Every structure is written in structure tokens, then in C-alpha cells.
Amino acid sequence: MHIGVITCEILRKEIGAVVRRTGVDRIFFLLPEPNNLALTILTKKVNERFSSELVEEARTKSKLNVKEKTIAGIGKEIRADNINNSVIIRVLELQSHDYPDKLLAEIEASLKTMSPVVDFVILGYGLCGSTAREMERVIENVEVPVVIPRDKKGAILNNCIEIALGKEKVQALLREEIGTFFMTPAGAAIIKEPQVILESSVGIMAGNSKRSAASDTRRIMRLMKNHYQRVVKICYSEADEDDIEYRKTVDKFASTFGLEIKNVRGSSRLVLEALEEGLGI
């Protein structure tokens, strides 16, 4: 079976868990068609960041075969080598959620590009500023099944934080302290500076689709100082808890805005449930 994945790069822990659960050893990272050098260079950088854990696993276990190719190249290799199982991953840059309309169009285009080669697609996104109606329309307008993390009632989750913790846990943490900011290992690794973390996150956390939201530095500085009291540090494992660079980034962010730190355990469960739905388990 050929499984497609279209995902924000912040979900690399979850997609890594998907790859391990499938047991597939052929992993393709999708490149754009070779007519835009700048886009290809950017895509390669994003792929490199995202695939770091998978590539390290390939080195240590000598199991995974990880490549970057265009969809035409992937299809050609699948046919030539008679490959029966693979995971084909399209990674979109973290800050794409600053422009929800463009992000939705990119997701739609990626689904159409990938669908002739895969049996189903896992969409590693929440609404990220789009409406449920818009996202459902994109999902339904594809030739192959598309699965996406959902809550217990079947609704698409709002953002990556709800994917990592579950909607109920996020709501409980916000009831406990409404002034809560959330940080993940991947988000902290990609963007280390406190102000840049804030600018890249304010739109997705607020569900605000206005393009100016993340660029009004003075407004969001006031927002943090006046309304946020703590940062939730999401860890998926003891390795995340012991990660020195992650700790430094969270500590710096907390000290910059005068926030307390609360550790909370994240999970890949909701993405793995989407995988099981796609597999018909």
C-alpha cells in the first residue's frame, strides 16, 4: 500500500510515529517539479529539517530507504522496482499557517498531485485559520480517501496543539489558566527566538486569518505581557524532557515574557488513529 502524507513540519514526531507503525521501509519526500529552483531549494531545507529523525533512524537500524523525488520520479521508481509499499510525504513550511487561504490552496494542490500514486492520504493539519466547511470541501474533492485527525465527535481539530494533546486536554489547560501559551519540540527546534516563535504562532493559536495578525509586533508584545501567564512545554518522551536545546529555548521564551513553565506529555495517538482509519483497521 502506498500512503500519502501532507503535513506541517511541526508534526514530525507524529509522522515519525506513523512511519514506524506502518513498518514501511521506502520513504519518499516530495519535491516540486523541476521548474522552480528557489522553491526546490526551500523544499529541500524543509524536508531536511523534518526528516532528521527518520534519517538518523535509517543510519542506526539500516532499515529505512529515504529519498527525495518529484511525484513523476516516485511513480517511475515504484513501477520500475515493483514497490508494493511506501510512504510519500509532502512537508509544508511551519509559517504557512500565516496565510490560511494560500495554505488551503497548497494542500488542495498537493492532494491532487499525490492522489494518482497513493491509496490514501493522511492530512497532518488542523483547521489552521480555515473554516471546517472549507477544509471538508478540500478533503471531499479528492479521488482517494483523505483522513485527518479529529476529535471524539468527528470534528477537525483547530491546530497542531490540539493534535498533540487532544482538544479536551487543551481546553482543560486553558480553563486552569486562560493565559497559556503552548510549545512543541519541533516548533522550538525550527524557530528558537522568543519574538519569532510568538509571531509565527499567534495566528494559528488565535484562529485569526488576517494576514497582518502575526506582523503587528507591538500588539502581540502587549498581548503576551498582559494576558499570558505560563508556557506549556509539550514533551512526547523522556528524550524531549532531557533535550538541552529544547529546555534552553523554552526557558528563554518564558524569561522574556515572564511566564511560568508547565510540562505536559504529548502523544501521536490522534494521527495514528487517522492512519488506522485510512488502513481500515
CATH of domain 2-158+268-279: 3.40.50
Cβ burial, residue 145 (10 Å; 0-12/13-18/19+) = middle
Q: 75-87, pLDDT tens digit by residue?
A: 999 999 999 999 9
Residues 109-126 have pLDDT tens digits of 999 999 999 999 999 999
* CA of residue 130 relative to chain centroid, distance: 16
Give the pLDDT score at 202: 52
What pTM was computed for the model? 0.87
Which three three-digit cell numbers place residue 9?
Answer: 513540519
Lowest mean per-residue pLDDT among 9-18, 46-55, 98-107: 46-55
278 or 63, which is more confident: 278
Model confidence over 235-269: pLDDT tens digits? 999 999 999 999 999 998 899 888 999 999 999 99
Domain boundaries, the chain: 2-158+268-279, 160-265
Average pLDDT over residues 38-48: 90
Burial class (CB in 10 A: 0-12, 13-18, 19+), 172: exposed
Mean pLDDT of 8-33: 93
pLDDT tens, position by position, 142-183: 999 999 999 999 999 999 999 999 999 999 999 999 999 899
pLDDT, residue 211, reads 46
Beta-bridge partners for 89: 5, 29
Question: What digits encode the pLDDT tens for the residues 185-219?
Answer: 988 887 665 555 555 555 444 444 444 444 555 66
57-61, 87-91, 207-211, 220-224: least confident range: 207-211
Mean pLDDT over residues 122-134, rounded? 94
What pLDDT sits at residue 214? 45
- On the question of pLDDT at 270 being above 50, the answer is yes
Name the phi and psi angles at 178, rounded to 5.
-60, -30
Q: How many CA atoms lie within 13 A of 28 on its CB side?
A: 24
Can you tell me which residue has the cell 480553563? 175
Average pLDDT score over the chain: 87
pLDDT at 99 over 60: yes
Per-residue pLDDT at 58:
55
- Name 172's Cβ contacts closer than 8 Å, sequence gap at least 6: none
Query: For residue 204, what pLDDT is reported?
Result: 46
Q: Tell me which of 19-33, 40-54, 147-161 is least confident.
A: 40-54
Written as nine digits, the cell of 192 is 528558537
d(CA 210, CA 2): 37
pLDDT band, residue 96 (cuts 50/70/90): confident
Q: How many CB atoms lie within 10 A of CB 212?
A: 10
Whether the pLDDT of residue 60 is over 90: the answer is no
